[in-house]
Chains A and B, each alone.
Chain A
Amino acid sequence: MTSYSLTHENLLKLIVAIAVPGREVYAPQRRGEKTFFAPVADVKAIGFDYVKTAESPKDLLFPKYQKLISFEYKGAELEVNDHAETPPPERVLFGSHPCDAVALQRLTDFFSRDIADTFVAQRRDALTVISMSCTKADADCFCTSTGSSPGDTTGSDILLTPSGEGRYYVESLTEKGEALVASQRSLFGPSAPIDKEACLSKVEKKFSPEEIAQKLAGAFGDQIWNDASLRCIGCGACAFVCPMCSCFDIQDEGSYKKGARVRCWDSCGFSLFTQHTSGHNPRPAQSDRWRQRVMHKFSYQPQQYELLGCVGCGRCSRACPADMNLKEQLIDIAAKVNPV
């Protein structure tokens, strides 16, 4: 790791300088009442003063739909296109918060745990992540309870920490980060020592992932799931704004003349998620599906792959039309469920 300093003015210059043809720069931008990561057309449109974007940046690795293969009959000739052979464009994600970068790392790990997923791996290789430490958090944030923190460097190539007076403390963390700094070296100044902790937002730790996993081991038949999920309306908003939800559905579309195999996001909150062809559904009630969501993130996945399925960004709680609040549910589990 090498550290530097950067002024706000030079940061904007940096973004302009790295947005060269063939390389897309994504940054948080306001749209209505929400903020989204979107390609930068004008650095003045970049939002710096926000807690979380409405959507996570997972789309950059694992898009909402991804063509895997496609085919077309041209006369008698069958043309088949393997989309894994088309490398994704080079991209820079700017302004992600540490929880977003941690999620990108965990998502990459998840998709490469046995046989690496070519699509995700290619996109990750082509992506450089310049994150911004959090100086603002809200009541739905709980990164510190998921093994992360507002200044976590995991998953970022460069992490900027606002150190006051329009300056940033720059941590260049990877070869990609170093290459990016080297390409615009004149914009960076020498690093001045700072008290990084003092610059960060405070997010109180409410529980530990280990504690939750331990409680969940005996919670399958607990009443807590029924009580909490009565108001759940069974949409997929939580799963689709989640930076870690990785379930997908493979769909074939088109006709026998021209078609594609497409990978689309799916959600365990949907009743159709586990519906069998026979009509039987092993998770018939919404409470079964809500339990699955929490269990998968905090018990099954950590157990199977040593990967926590949550980074505590709180997007699911902010997005929920029925005010299902994951942090509150986990605090409840930590407090009420008896350990095995």
Chain B
Amino acid sequence: MQALHQKAQELLESGRAKVIIGYGSGSGEKVRPVFVRNIADAPKLVWDQRCRQNLAVYLAKPEIKKMGMPAIVATPVVVRSIVQLIAERQLKCFELITLVIENAVVSELTDNAALEAYVANHPVVFPPPVKKEIETLAAMSVEERFKFWQDELSRCFKCYACRSSCPLCYCERCITECNQPQWVDVAPHALGNFEWHINRAMHMAGRCVQCGSCNIACPVGIPIALLTIEATRFVEREFGQHAGTQCNSPAALSSFRVEDKETFIL
């Protein structure tokens, strides 16, 4: 942790970074996002097992953007998010300082190649309960799976914590907020909830970096990440493209290659 404090101090002192986006002590046993702007606050940064929230979500927040050059304390999922944001032309690697911590050593990932190499060395790891849920769902018949989602999604009250916690949900105007025409029913009834979550899953297909932030954020405990993870894995299987691994990769679902499968065209 000391190395992190020292690095944060150096970055702020030299003026290379104006804000360090990291984790700090939260209420009770929790950690929370902190935005360190003063050298004296650098010791507030915390780094341990509890640091799970995907901080990349703050890179698009106007209040944070206004602060100037950010440095971000990056877990592997944050790095994957950054790579995907670069691939989607939302970010350039020199617009932020990506800090990774390995064996108490803090280093910077300074270019696209370094970011990609880091991701390659840190493959997606699901927490055991998520892994189990993925397997359980995969073993279900289509009817069982539909019933599972009917049951789970009926509990959604559309607080949009899934969307708000997701770094790849950066649309300034989300489809659920378009009302001319009204694509998605606003009411959180069965149909409205299906319309919303299936739309989101389709939009995240091939883009979800499988960080699980939406799962953690959901206040009623719907395992909503399973939808976007499956949509993304489908794209992996069909098009061989892995979200959050390549900075210069056109999105599978919005680009065309002659060797693409066209089995879906009747």
Contact = CB atoms under 8 A, between A and B. Distances in A.
Interface of A: 31-34, 36, 54-55, 64-65, 138-140, 226, 229-231, 233-237, 239-241, 249, 251, 253, 262, 264-265, 267, 270, 272, 285-287, 317, 319, 321-323, 325, 328
Contacts of B158: 64, 236, 240, 264-265
Given A65-B188, A139-B27, A234-B164, 10 more contacts: A54-B219, A65-B189, A140-B27, A140-B28, A231-B35, A237-B161, A253-B185, A253-B186, A264-B186, A321-B164
Nearest to B179: A251
Contacts of A229: 63
B221 A270 contact: no
Contact of A264 (B53, B165, B187): B187
B27 A235 contact: no
B189 A240 contact: no
Contacts of B27: 139-140, 317, 323, 325, 328
A318 to B, nearest CB: 8
A237 B187 contact: no
A323 B50 CA distance: 13
B187 A235 contact: no
Given A140-B27, A322-B33, A325-B27, A237 B159 contact: yes
Nearest to A254: B185
Contacts of B61: 230, 233, 286
Nearest to B174: A272
Nearest to B223: A32
19 contacts: A54-B220, A54-B221, A55-B220, A65-B187, A65-B188, A65-B189, A140-B28, A231-B34, A233-B61, A235-B159, A235-B160, A235-B161, A240-B157, A264-B158, A264-B186, A267-B159, A286-B63, A321-B217, A323-B32
Interface string B22-41: 00001110111111000000
A323 B185 contact: no
10 smallest A-B Cβ distances: which pairs? A321-B217, A323-B32, A235-B164, A236-B159, A319-B219, A235-B161, A65-B187, A233-B164, A323-B26, A231-B33
Given A236-B159, A253-B182, A241 B219 contact: yes
Contacts of A231: 32-35, 58
B17 to A, nearest CB: 16
B63 A287 contact: yes
Interface string B199-224: 00000000000000100110111000
B62 interface: yes
A302 B186 CA distance: 30
A285 B62 contact: yes
A249 B179 CA distance: 14
Contacts of A31: 221
Given A317-B27, A323-B32, A328-B27, A240 B159 contact: yes
A235 B158 CA distance: 9
A272 B163 CA distance: 14
B78 interface: no
Interface in B1-59: 26-28, 30-35, 53, 57-58
A319 B217 CA distance: 8
Interface string B153-194: 000011111011100000000000100001001111100100
A323 to B, nearest CB: 4
B64 interface: yes
Contacts of B57: 233
Contacts of B34: 231
B219 A272 contact: no
Nearest to A230: B35
B220 A34 contact: yes
In this complex, which of A240, A251, A262, A286 has the most chain B Cβ atoms within 10 angstroms of its Cβ? Answer: A240
A64 B160 contact: no
A340 B158 CA distance: 39
Contact of A323 (B30, B159, B163, B213): B30
A323 B55 CA distance: 13
Nearest to B188: A64
Contacts of B187: 65, 251, 253, 262, 264
B157 A235 contact: no
B159 A239 contact: yes
Contact of B64 (A230, A253, A272): A230
B160 A270 contact: yes
Contacts of B159: 235-237, 239-240, 267
Contacts of B220: 34, 36, 54-55
A325 B29 CA distance: 13
A31 B217 CA distance: 16
In this complex, which of A64, A241, A272, A323 has the most chain B Cβ atoms within 10 angstroms of its Cβ? Answer: A323
A321 B165 contact: yes
B193 to A, nearest CB: 10
Nearest to B191: A253
B75 to A, nearest CB: 15
Contacts of A235: 159-161, 163-165, 217
B165 A233 contact: yes
Contacts of A64: 157-158, 188
Contacts of A241: 219
Given A139-B28, A321-B165, A230 B63 contact: yes
B172 to A, nearest CB: 10
Nearest to B216: A321
A268 to B, nearest CB: 12
